[in-house]
A and B are shown apart, each in its own frame.
Chain A
Amino acid sequence: MLALIVRRLLTAIPTLLGIILASFFLMRSAPGGPFDGERPLPPEVQEALRETYGLDKPLWEQAWIYISRLLQGDFGPSLVYRDFTVTELVAQGLPISLTLGGLAILLALLIGVTAGLFAAVKAGKMIDKSIMMLATVATALPTFVTGPALALFFGLWLGLLPVSGRGEGMAWLIMPVVALALPVSGAIAKLTRAGLATVLKQDHIRTARARGLPETKILFKHGLRPALVPVASYLGPAAAGLLTGAVVVETVFGLPGLGRYFVQGALNRDYPLVLGVVTLYAALIILFNLFADLIYGWLDPRMREE
């Protein structure tokens, strides 16, 4: 287990480096620069700014400087929000994005596993077919439609929930989290249903039945755990999906999370800000994939590596 973690973290280093370098050169081949702004600065000032931020050096040297600073935990200064470092901006945004994503995945697991379980128990019946149809519909719901639609119904028409921003208490979290969780919960319901259908046909379940164990115990103790293996392997891609979904949800509901900084940064050519957010996103996704692999081994001991 420890060996697995170490090995995965070691392979993560070249992956991260690749992503950082690719984004660095992509970003820098873009026309325009961070100091274009709406009122163009005089050329001498622009020149001075470029020098201050080291943008006049050769690209490879800049990349090298960026990475060596990154290793010391320094994401560099923001070129557009000039009073802030990228670290400060990210420190503001990350908790919001993580809260949204974390709650969304919990909600999706709760809805998805419950629905999948129900469908598998009633396999072939009307309720099974309806749940699976609903799950398919849910997977096809884009957050940028469900987000505004929820805001319209529950925010504007019913007046139950805040339409945007973070008001008092936790009510502001409900709609963004639901919009994010819906498509993921549909996918999880399908995977749970399919996993259970396979597992319930296996020998150990038949043995458990033959021994006269109550059906609920068979289902929860012997059936569900191995059936969740496909769900665990879906958590990696799901995390990536949630992070992208968060970009939209943060825009729609006016929440100052990482996603908004990413889009704004890309549009403003704020190189360090974009690189910082991409690096963080990539690291999060890699971590989540590792986490999914560990859950994998816990759910099904046969999957554990030597």
Chain B
Amino acid sequence: MKSLLHPSHWPLWVVIALIAAALLLPFILPWTYDQIDWDAVRAPAFTGSHLLGTDEIGRDRLARLAAGTRVTIMVAIAAALVSLIVGITWGATAGWVGGKVDEAMMRFVDALYALPFMFIVILLMVIFGRSILLVFVGIGLVEWLTMARVVRGQVMALKQRPFILAAEAAGTKPLTIVIKHILPNIAGVALAYLMLTVPQVVMVESFLSFLGLGVQEPLTSLGILVKEGADDMDVAPLGLLLPGGVLVLILVCLTVEGERLRDTYS
């Protein structure tokens, strides 16, 4: 794998630059994302201190964009980690124990794959209120399936390797083998799939927020900004194009980078 500094890793750098901008902008901008400038409602771009103008109630677009990106990325990382933990635990157990247990655990995963999952998530959101915590736990619990499958495959292949057999012969406890010898060896593949899970999660979070079921006001996320922009696009197309553009940029970059990482490991 080429060094991360190599120009071919541009998608990763675009995402890092976007995150850095989203984190730093609040310190530079004179406006916060929920502050209303009564003198500049619906201001076009480059009006005074509003670089990208203001929205229909006079909130600074750039500040809102940065806030939305922060929330979306934060939810995505948290949810991807939930899916990573659940997926690795499930997959490693199934792959390591094998036999009937493996059979049952993987049938369960297959069955879940076939479910109209988005609808269960929507139901969950409607039912248990719309806290941000629930958003990422809910999404994470949906997105672990592929991770579990991949990890199981890897563990099953590793199990037959001499160094694992040697560790078993030496009487090492199974849990120790899994943690010390198996997990480090699947870290690369897991990382690649984690990278591919993040755009999935971003998509689900923005989808829920777009429907009004995800992150709630006064917090904002890219999904909410797209929704607000879409409602107001006949007057202010920037409101739709800016958050939509940032969202698509993040999704495309993460997908390109994640697929490349996956291809190097498989």
Chain B, residues 87-108, CB within 8 Å of chain A (1/0): the string is 0000000000000000000000
Do residues A244 and B226 form an inter-chain contact, with CB atoms below 8 A? Answer: no
Please, which residues of chain A bring their CB within 8 A of the CB of B256?
133, 136
Distance between A136 CB and nearest chain B CB, rounded to angstroms: 6
Report how many A-B pairs have Cβ atoms within 8 Å. 111
Interface status of A66 (Cβ within 8 A of chain B): no
**A120–chain B nearest beta-carbon distance, Å:** 17
Report whether B127 and A29 are in contact in the complex, using a CB–CB cutoff of 8 Å: yes
B140 within 8 A of A: no
Tell me the B residues contacting A by CB distance below 8 Å.
Answer: 111, 113-120, 122-124, 126-128, 199, 203, 206-207, 210-211, 223, 226-227, 229-230, 233-234, 237, 240-241, 244, 247-248, 251-252, 254-256, 259
Across the interface, do A26 and B206 meet the contact criterion of CB distance under 8 Å? Answer: no
Q: B-facing mask of A228-248, CB < 8 A → 1, else 0?
A: 000000001100100110011
Residues of B within 8 A of A23 (CB): 119-120, 123
- B contacts with A: majority SS: helix
Q: How far is the CA of A137 from the CA of B253 in the complex (A)?
A: 9
Q: Is A266 among interface residues, defined by CB-CB distance under 8 A?
A: yes
Q: Which of A147, A263, A277, A282 contacts B211 (CB 8 A)?
A: A263
Q: List 23 A-B contacts (CB under 8 A).
A: A23-B120, A26-B120, A29-B127, A139-B255, A140-B248, A144-B210, A144-B223, A145-B226, A148-B240, A149-B240, A151-B233, A156-B233, A236-B114, A240-B114, A240-B116, A243-B116, A247-B118, A248-B207, A263-B211, A278-B116, A281-B119, A285-B115, A285-B116
Instruction: Report how far A141 CA is from B237 CA in the complex, Å.
Output: 19
Residues of B close to A267: CB separation below 8 A: 126
Q: Which residues of B contact A236 (CB under 8 A)?
A: 114
A152: which B residues are within 8 A, CB to CB? 233, 237, 240-241
Q: Within 8 Å CB of B128, what residues of A? A: 30
A198 within 8 A of B: no
Q: Is the CB of A142 within 8 A of B206?
A: yes
Most buried by A among B123, B229, B234, B237: B123
Please tell me if the beta carbons of A142 and B240 are within 8 angstroms of each other in the complex: no
Cβ B114 vs Cβ A248 within 8 A? no
Complex contact B116–A142 (CB within 8 A): no
B227 contacts across to A, CB distance below 8 A: 144
Residues of B within 8 A of A243 (CB): 116, 118
Q: Are the CB atoms of B244 and A240 closer together than 8 Å?
A: no
Contact residues of A: prevailing secondary structure? helix
With both chains docked as a complex, state the minimum distance between the C-beta of A165 and any C-beta of chain B, in angstroms. Answer: 15
Residue numbers in B under 8 Å from A282 (CB-CB): 115-116
Confirm or deny: A296 has a beta carbon within 8 angstroms of a beta carbon on chain B.
Answer: no
Q: How far is the CA of A52 from the CA of B52 in the complex (A)?
A: 56
A289 at the interface (CB under 8 A from B): yes
Is the pair B111, A144 in contact by a Cβ cutoff of 8 Å? no
Check if A262 sits within 8 Å of B119, measured CB to CB: yes
Contact of A142 among B117, B120, B123, B251 (CB under 8 A): B251
A27 interface residue (CB < 8 Å to B): yes
Known: A19-B115, A274-B123. A140 touches B206 (CB 8 A): no
Cross-chain contact B123 with A251 (CB below 8 angstroms): no
Q: List 16 additional A-B contacts (Cβ < 8 Å) besides A19-B115, A23-B120.
A: A15-B114, A23-B123, A136-B252, A136-B255, A142-B251, A144-B230, A145-B226, A145-B244, A148-B229, A152-B241, A252-B230, A262-B122, A277-B119, A278-B123, A282-B115, A285-B115
